[in-house]
Amino acid sequence: MPPSSARPNDQAKRESGGDVLKVVTRATENPISIEDAKDQLSITDNEDDLRIDRLIKAATEYVESATRRAVMSQTWDELLPEFPTETIQLKKPPLQSLTSVSYYAVGGSTLTVLPSTDYWSIAPTHQPGQVTTRSAFPAAEMRPDAIAVRYVCGYPNRDSVPEGIKHAIRLLVGHWNENREAEITGTITAELKIGLKSLLGQAGWGVYA
């Protein structure tokens, strides 16, 4: 099914090269459980469960931004202004599955779904997924969202999330739990940043700084 038209309240961000990423379906599971986080914090009661859940979500977003990858299963649309010559490099690893490749044909006003027999996808664990044409991509209308690639990315369950990513999330939750002002602003200390760099350095396909 081709991606739907953009709505003003859709979360989207522009990547280098003009590509735009739009979240379609957010992750429904956290990479670590509330009980896991409470164990890290040495908390035994349930009074702060909602706040801890918010901290886990914030820490997960931090890690995703730092590593330029998805953590838990989620669906995204990647919009491109044109087809590349042979290969589309997707910006949200790890790729789980490719849902559709759609495009506006020259002179067309609605998205056309490219037959799945016209391309194949490659899903390396530590690098961006790729979509490669079997012959040549078709001509597309000249517009910023001429091509729409919908795909599922992230790790399928908690057990498959690398331990380095999970421990980075625990450290962030612990830091923000102890430093409430930092929780509000989303800041971290230089010492913690060094620790996160060590944990996340192997997870990101970009440059972690």
139 and 113 both lie in a single domain: yes
103 and 53 both lie in a single domain: no
Look at residue 206 and tell me whether its pLDDT is greater than 60. no
What are the tens digits of pLDDT across the range 153-202?
A: 999 999 999 999 999 999 999 999 988 765 455 567 777 887 888 888 86
pLDDT at 158: 97
Q: Tell me how crowded residue 118 is: count the other CB atoms within 10 A of its CB.
A: 13
Q: What are the strands, taking DSSP E only, across the chain? A: 12-14, 20-25, 74-80, 87-89, 95-104, 111-113, 119-122, 130-133, 147-153
pLDDT at 197: 85
Q: Which residues are within 8 A (CB) of 25 and not within 5 positions of it... i.e. 6 or more apart? A: 74, 75
Distance CA 99, CA 77 (A): 10
108 and 166 both lie in a single domain: no
Q: How far is CA 154 from CA 29, 46, 162, 168, 198, in A?
A: 11, 29, 11, 16, 21
pLDDT at 192: 85
pLDDT at 101: 98
pLDDT band at residue 115 using 50, 70 and 90 as cut-offs = very high
What are the tens digits of pLDDT across the range 121-143?
A: 998 766 789 999 999 999 999 99
- Domain's final residue, options 134, 153, 172: 153
What are the tens digits of pLDDT across the range 44-63?
A: 999 999 999 999 999 999 99
pLDDT at 199: 87
CA atoms within 13 A of residue 161's CA, in its CB half-sphere: 24
111 and 148 both lie in a single domain: yes
Write the DSSP symbol of residue 47: T
Count structural domains, the chain: 2
Distance CA 201, CA 81 (A): 31
Distance CA 88, CA 129 (A): 8
140 and 93 both lie in a single domain: yes
Nearest to 69 by CA among 145, 159, 164: 164
pLDDT at 182: 52
Task: Round the average pLDDT of the chain to a whole number and report it.
Answer: 87
- Relative to beta strand 20-25, strand 111-113 is unpaired
Element (H, E) at 81: none
37 and 138 both lie in a single domain: no
This prediction has a pTM of: 0.83
